[in-house]
Amino acid sequence: MEPINVFDYEILARERIDPIYWDYYSGGSDDEVTLRANRSDFERIRLRPRMLVDVQDCSTSTSVLGSPVGMPILVAPSAYHRMAHPEGECATVQGAGAAGSLMIVSTNATRSLEEIAAVATGPLWFQLYLYPTREVAAKLIRRVEAAGYRAIVLTIDLPTMGNRERDLRNHLKISFPMPNVEGIARSEIPWRITTWDDVDWLCAETSLPVLVKGVLTAEDAVLALEHGVSGIIVSNHGGRQLDGAVTGIEALPEVSEAVAGRCEVYVDGGFRRGTDVLKALALGARAVLVGRPVLWGLAVEGSQGVQQVLDILHSELQRAMKLSGCPTLASIPRSLVKLT
């Protein structure tokens, strides 16, 4: 089968990935209600296209925290890319760069942050877990800064692991090396309770912009601003943490309204079509993050598969913008979407 959309890549990837690893990538927590809602909630949003607009030259170029990118579609942080392809994150970052995107590298990557940076052709951010002591985290931050990463993304929605029953049934064991957390026992990762005091510490510890990932309410968005973050990522961790939580696209309007332009807002969770991306942009997102589809592309054709998945989403976004009468990202209005 010649894949023509993201769902085709999902079918092909499932044939190539070990079934236990597939469950790790694709599963959610408990009854997977939120996992399913991450997709179905897009169906509750309708588009209100405008006609007779000159959309011949349609541009998707933008910047994220000052870094130029060719599209508002970024690679979300996800762990253990070598489960999908032998080259792991090094192949992912090459595909992301070729597509004109940005990659957020996970602390739990299976290639070192230095190796990934050495082959990157696009900008990089680093996703951080705060491990047992701040001293350990500070050493990792120094490595991130030295390697040329442009921002740090602090994941805040993991005070404990969600109840991922697929992994429990499979007796999942991770055998791949994790070179970014050398010297830390796997049993210690990543369950250190993170608080707003840690956000203050991180913002003071690094000169890089700090984003928090895992915000789902206006209340926490306002607190994030008060604690000095440069960006907010609206996320329910791919439906892998609290089952029954609101979805990213559902929470996005209240977060965007609360932030009111005082920092950049991003969102992830269930993005599979260019129209999904367009809806998020209309609801206030600067850009969206995609995770599982990138892994599917990686499994099917390495770096080229990653590029192709991102290119498909990019092409679909451009088409949706033209059909909606939006020649630029700045021309996408809130009135484009109707919540049903």
Where does residue 161 fall: left (phi above 0), alpha (psi -120 to 50 degrees), or beta otherwise? Answer: beta
Residue with token string 């807002």 = 265
CB neighbours of residue 247 within 10 Å: 26
Q: For the beta carbon of residue 167, count every other beta carbon within 10 angstroms.
A: 19
Strand partners, 73: 288
**Separation of alpha carbons 310 and 292, rounded Å:** 12
Is residue 81 annotated as a catalytic residue, yes or no? no
Bridge-based pairing of strands 264-268 and 231-234 is: parallel
Is the Cβ–Cβ distance between 197 and 134 less than 8 Å? no
Active-site pick, 81, 171, 227, 237: 237
What 3-state class would DSSP assign to 114? helix
Q: Which residues are catalytic?
A: 237
